[in-house]
Amino acid sequence: MKAVLSAAFKGLTRASAAPGVIDSASMASCLFIPWFRLSPWVLNVPFGNRELTIEPFFALVVAGLGVGYAVALLFAKKHGRPLDLTMSLALYLVLFSFPISYVLNAAFYLPDQFRSLIHYPAELFRAELGWSMFGGIIGTLVGAWVWKWRHKAWILEIGDAFAFAGPFGWSIARVGCFVTHDHPGHKTNFFLAVADFQAGTPPYEPRHDLGLYDVLIMGTIAVIFLILSRKPRKPGLYAGLLPVLYAPCRFLLDFLRAPVSEGGDIRYAGLTPAQYGSVLLLIAGVLVLRRVAKSDVVAT
């Protein structure tokens, strides 16, 4: 199975352990995205004689959250979903997704640090564990379940607003991954590669940037959702369609990810944690779509 999938990516990936991925330096300058990395923004605080450092990644994540929240409210208003319940659900999603994403990133990708946290829990607030997208998805699901338990409301009706808004905010947040280049892929001559990608050891060569590819995938899904929204749809459609569209793309995309020695993600039995998560996400999406198709709820 893995051999078949790898063959499907033959046109995209051409890994090399030695220099010479491309024919010439001039070709590289014409074809590839130039290497860059946004540095933190340092602002002078007018009082207290202090400086405020803003990380580009977190700034774009916050911007993505703001856009996603705004789009969800617009969707709820347009389709007659209760705005008070929509805003309430948004709070639960944020409160649960971020801390769970933080902890599960250690569990999935930093197992040694995670085992240390079990023995020394206080380190949780001092260590830099990073953030896991699939950990955030799990946190979102936990938050949605708690919200449903507290409010006794139909989660698919209200949650659909956030599923619709997800690709819009997600694509902006993923720009934060791209401008910091924290998802290096294999060396390649693909035209969307980033030249002189500073991962692994010199000499640096063009590599896939999986953060950029995620931006393109989510942007495409956002366009599909906009087209679908022109007609009334059953509540829950977007909640099922988002994982069904995204999960297969992410599963295949992670075959382009660099090995651990070059800054890539850890593997378990040859697959990344995100690939296992993609399989579960796809199954969940199919089950939601089946439920939506069988429901007698009127499209709105």
Bridge partner residues of 53 (DSSP) = 42
Neighbours of 97 (CB within 10 A): 22
- 8, pLDDT greater than 60: no
* DSSP structure string for 174-238: HHHHHHHT-SEEEE---TTPEEEE--SSSSPEEEEEHHHHHHHHHHHHHHHHHHHTTS---TTHH
Question: Count of alpha carbons within 13 Å of 27, Cβ hemisphere only?
Answer: 11
Q: Are 277 and 134 in contact (CB under 8 A)?
A: yes
Q: Considering only CA atoms, which of 239, 248, 106, 95 is closest in space to residue 161? A: 239
Domain count, the chain: 1
- 261, pLDDT greater than 80: yes
The pLDDT tens digits of the residues spanning 34-91 come to: 999 988 988 887 776 788 889 999 999 999 999 999 999 999 999 999 999 999 999 9
pTM listed for this prediction:
0.86
Instruction: Establish if 283 belongs to a structural domain.
Output: yes
The pLDDT of residue 285 is: 96
Instruction: Establish if 300 belongs to a structural domain.
Output: no
Helix (H, G, I), strand (E, B) or coil at 51: strand
The pLDDT tens digits of the residues spanning 207-241 come to: 999 999 999 999 999 999 999 999 999 999 999 99
User: 32 or 124: whose pLDDT is higher?
Assistant: 32
* Res. 27 pLDDT band, cuts 50 70 90: low
Instruction: Establish if 183 belongs to a structural domain.
Output: yes
Instruction: List the alpha helices (DSSP H) in the chain.
Output: 2-8, 25-31, 56-78, 83-109, 111-119, 133-151, 155-180, 210-228, 237-253, 273-294
Q: Considering only CA atoms, which of 270, 222, 272, 263 is closest in space to residue 245? A: 222
In sequence order, what are the residues at sequence separation of 6 or more whose Cβ sits closer than 8 angstroms to the Cβ of residue 151? 85, 88
Instruction: Establish if 105 belongs to a structural domain.
Output: yes
The pLDDT tens digits of the residues spanning 193-203 come to: 999 999 988 99
Lowest-confidence segment of 97-111, 162-176, 259-273 by average pLDDT:
97-111
Question: Can you tell me the mean pLDDT for 5-9?
Answer: 47
Question: Can you tell me the mean pLDDT for 93-112?
Answer: 90
Instruction: Establish if 130 belongs to a structural domain.
Output: yes
Q: Which two tokens stand for residue 121?
A: 């829990």
* Backbone dihedral region for residue 47 (phi beyond 0: left; psi -120 to 50: alpha; all else: beta): beta
Q: Could you list the residue range(s) of the whole structural domain that residue 116 is in?
A: 2-294
Instruction: Establish if 299 belongs to a structural domain.
Output: no
Tell me the average pLDDT of the chain: 87
